[in-house]
A = this chain, B = another copy of it.
C-alpha cells in the first residue's frame, strides 16, 4: 500500500461550507484498479507519444526559444499537455515510477523554460500572435489553458511535494490578477475552467487573491463583456448572470466546467444564491437533458445542450469531456449537500457515458458517444482537438479520490470498489466485485473507541438492499439515499451490504421521440447495448426487436472483452426488405422472420471489436409488453 502524499482533485478539508470532505482511498483490485493500471501502463505513454507527434512539446520548445519552426496544432493545444501532466501527477501519487517521472520532468522543464518573465504562459500567443495577448478572450483560451496548468501544478505538488510546477502556476496566476478585475480588463474567459482551478490553487496556497479572482470571473459572467461572435453569448456562457441561471444551455463542457467552478466558490463562501442556482441547473439537466448513460450535450456542431427531451440516439454528441465535467460538478455538489442524487448521476456517468470514451486497451478515445451506430464508428488514437484523451487519463488516474468522504459524523461510502480507506479515526477495508456483483463487504481494521457513523449509498437503480453486521441482519436506516449505521465499532467488525442487481428493461419519457416504444437493458450501474459482433450470422442488428415478455438471463463471460457479464434477451428479426429505398408507407405490422437471441454487453465495452453496428435502445415487439 502506497503513501498518499496529500488530498486529491478537491481538497475541501479547509473548505468551510463543505458538508463532506474528500477522502482518498487506495484501490486494491477489481474493476477500477485494473483501469488505473492500464491507464498507467498504456494510456500515459500513449499520451506522451501523441503529444510528441501532435506538436505539444515542439510548441513549448518554440515558446522557450530552444528551437525555430512553425507552430503546430490549435491555439488551445497547451491544455492537452497540462491535463496529461495532471494525470501523470495522480499516477505518481498512486504509485511512483521512474519512467513516468522522467516524462513529467521533460514536460515540466519545457514549461518552466517557456514561461515569459512576467509570468505569462501560452505557447500560441507567445509564438504566433504576441500582439494579440489577452485580446481575444472569447476565443483565445488563454485563461482556459492557465486553469489546466494550475490543476496540473496542484496535483503535481500534492503528489511529489515539489514546488517547481506550482511556482510556475502561481507566477502565472499572480500575473493574471494584475491583468483582470475591476478597473483592469473587465471580462472572463470564453471557455470556463480557470474558476475551479483558481479555487483549487487557493486551497493549496491559501492565497486569498486566487479565490477572489475566481469570484470575479464568476460574477462578471452574463454581463455581455465577451464578443458574442461567431457562436453567440450562450456558447461562451455569457448570456445570463450565474445566480440567475435557470437552464443548462450552450456548449456543454463550458456550462459544466462553469458549474464546477461555481460550486467550488460556494464551498468557500457559503453564498446560498450560488448553491440554489446549481440546484436549479441540476434539476433542469436531469429532468430533461440527460441520456440514460449520463451523457449530455446532444448537438453536433455547437457541442451544446439542446431543448428538453432533445435526445436523439444516432446523432447524440455526448462529448467525453462533457461526461467528465458532469462528474466533476456532481462530486462538488455531493460535497456541498451530502445528497446521494449527485452520487447516482456520477455513477451512471462514470460507468457509461464516460467510460465508453476510452478503449479497453486505453490507446483509443471517443470524442463523440452516440447511443446508436449504424456501423463505421471506431475510436481514433488521438484527435486534432485532443481535449478528451488526457481528460480521460486524469479522471481514471484520480478515481480513488472520488469513492468516499468523511464528515464530523463519520465515513460515507459513495462508490463501491475493492479499496482501503484510512481516516484519522478508523481504517476500513471494502471488498466487492462491483459492478458485476451487488455484494459488498466492509471490515473495520482499526477504529477509535467513540461511536461513529458509517453511511452507505443505496443506488437509485437498486430496488432491494439488505444489510448485516457481523452476520446479523439489520434494518436499513435511510437518510438522503444512504443507509446509516451509527455504533461503537470494534476492530474486526464486518458489514455486509447486498444490492440486489437484477437486469432490467428501461423505457424513456414519452417526450423523447428517439426511444419511443423501445427498451434499454440495464443491470446495476451499467447500461447495456447490443453490438453486431454478438449477433448470429445473418442477423442485422438494426432490424431486431426485443420481446419484453421473455426473461433476461445473466451470464458471466470472463473470456469476453476483458471479462464482462452479458445479458441475454429474446428477440425477433423483422423483415425489412420491403423498406428498401422507401421512407414511408401505409401502416401494417412488421413481418417477423424468426426468433433471435440478443446478447447485450456493457455499453462501455462497445467498439472494441471493429466498427459494427450498436444500439442501446431496442424496439419492442408489437404485442409487448
A516 to B624, CA, bound (A): 14
A residues with a Cβ closer than 8 A to B are 230, 283, 286-288, 290, 292, 299, 301-302, 306-315, 372, 374, 504-520, 542-543, 548, 574, 576, 579, 581-590, 619-620, 622-625
> B581 to A283, Cβ gap below 8 A?
yes
A420 and B574 CA atoms in complex are apart in Å by 50
Contact call A507/B310, Cβ cutoff below 8 A? no
Least Cβ distance of A290 to chain B in Å? 6
Q: What is the CA–CA distance of A513 and B299 in the complex, to the nearest angstrom?
A: 16
Given contact pairs A513-B513, A514-B513, A581 touches B313 in the complex (Cβ within 8 A): no
Point out the residues of chain B lying under 8 angstroms from A511, CB to CB: 374, 542, 579
* Residues in B neighbouring A587, C-beta threshold 8 A: 504-507, 519, 548, 625
The residue in chain B whose Cβ has the minimal distance to the Cβ of A619 is B516
B509 touches A584 (CB 8 A): yes
A625 touches B579 (CB 8 A): no
Q: Is the CB of B286 within 8 A of A586?
A: no
Which residues of B are found within 8 Å of A504, using beta-carbon distances?
A: 586-587
Residues of chain B within 8 A (CB-CB) of A519 are 587
Do A584 and B287 touch (CB < 8 A)?
A: no
Bound: A374/B513 CA distance, A: 12
Is the beta-carbon distance between A508 and B583 smaller than 8 angstroms?
yes
Inter-chain contact A574/B510, CB cutoff 8 Å: yes
| Cα-based distance from A585 to B512 in the complex (angstroms) | 13
Contact A590 B510 (CB under 8 A): yes
Asked if A513 and B292 make an inter-chain contact with CB atoms under 8 angstroms apart, the answer reads: no
The smallest C-beta distance from A249 to any residue of chain B, in angstroms, reads 14
Shortest A604–chain B CB gap in Å is 18
How many angstroms between the C-alpha atoms of A147 and B222 in the bound complex? Answer: 43
Of chain B, the residue at the smallest CB distance from A542 is B511
**Are B314 and A585 in contact, CB atoms less than 8 angstroms apart?**
no
Please give, as numbers and ranges, the residues of chain B lying within 8 Å of A516 by CB-CB distance. 516-518, 619
Inside 8 A of A507's CB, which chain B residues have their CB?
Answer: 584-588
Q: Compute how far the CA of A574 lies from the CA of B510 in the bound complex, rounded to whole angstroms.
A: 10
Would you call A585 and B619 a contact (CB within 8 A)? no
Q: What chain B residues lie within 8 Å of A315 (beta carbons)?
A: 306-307, 310, 312
Q: What CA separation (Å) do A417 and B29 show in the bound complex?
A: 77
Beyond A510-B579, A584-B506, A590-B510, is A623–B623 a contact (Cβ under 8 Å)? Answer: yes
A235 to chain B: closest CB distance in Å?
11
The closest CB in chain B to the CB of A290 belongs to B583
Chain B residues with CB under 8 A of A288: 583
Inter-subunit contact B517/A619 (CB<8 Å) = yes
Sampled A-B contacts (5; CB under 8 Å): A309-B314, A508-B584, A509-B579, A510-B576, A512-B583
Enumerate chain B residues within 8 angstroms of A520, measured Cβ to Cβ: 584
B510 touches A292 (CB 8 A): no
With contacts A307-B314, A307-B315 taken as known, whether A292 is within 8 angstroms of B590 at the C-beta atoms is: no
Q: How far is the CA of A230 from the CA of B230 in the complex (A)?
A: 9
Supply 12 further A-B pairs (C-beta < 8 A) apart from A508-B583, A516-B517, A520-B584: A299-B301, A301-B302, A307-B315, A311-B583, A507-B585, A510-B576, A510-B619, A511-B542, A516-B518, A517-B619, A517-B620, A519-B587
Instruction: Determine if A583 and B287 form an interchain contact, defined as CB atoms under 8 angstroms apart.
Output: yes
Neighbouring B residues of A308 by C-beta, 8 Å: 374
Chain B nearest CB from A615 CB (Å) reads: 10
CB distance A312 to B586 under 8 Å? no
A124 to chain B, nearest CB (A): 18
- Give A345 Cβ to nearest chain B Cβ, in Å: 11
Q: What residue in chain B is nearest A308 (Cβ atoms)? A: B374
Expressed in whole angstroms, the Cα–Cα distance for A63 and B250 within the complex equals 39
B314 contacts A310, C-beta separation under 8 Å: yes
Cβ distance A502 to chain B, nearest Cβ, rounded Å = 10
Instruction: Give the top 8 A-B pairs by smallest Cβ distance, nearest first.
Output: A517-B517, A287-B581, A505-B587, A507-B587, A513-B514, A301-B301, A509-B579, A509-B583
Shortest distance from the beta carbon of A489 to any chain B beta carbon, whole Å: 37
In whole angstroms, what is the CA distance A586 to B519 when docked?
A: 9
In the assembled complex, the Cα of A333 lies from the Cα of B324 at a distance in Å of 51
Q: Is A625 a contact of B588 with CB atoms below 8 Å?
A: yes
Contacts of A623 in B (CB 8 A): 623
A583 neighbours in B (Cβ, 8 Å): 286-288, 290, 292, 311, 508-509, 512
- Whole-angstrom distance between the alpha carbons of A176 and B22 in the complex? 70
Contact: A514 with B514, CB < 8 Å? yes
**A513/B586 in contact, CB under 8 A:** no
Select the residue from A306, A506, A513, A619 with max chain B CB neighbours within 10 A. A513
- Specify which chain B residues have a CB less than 8 angstroms from the CB of A310 in the assembled complex: 314-315
Q: Which of A505, A511, A589, A623 has most B Cβ within 10 Å?
A: A511
**Bound complex: CA A588 to CA B625 (Å):** 7
Report the separation of the CA atoms of residues A507 and B579 in the bound assembly, to the nearest whole angstrom.
11
Closest chain B residue to A515 by CB distance?
Answer: B513
* B589–A513 touching, CB < 8 Å: no
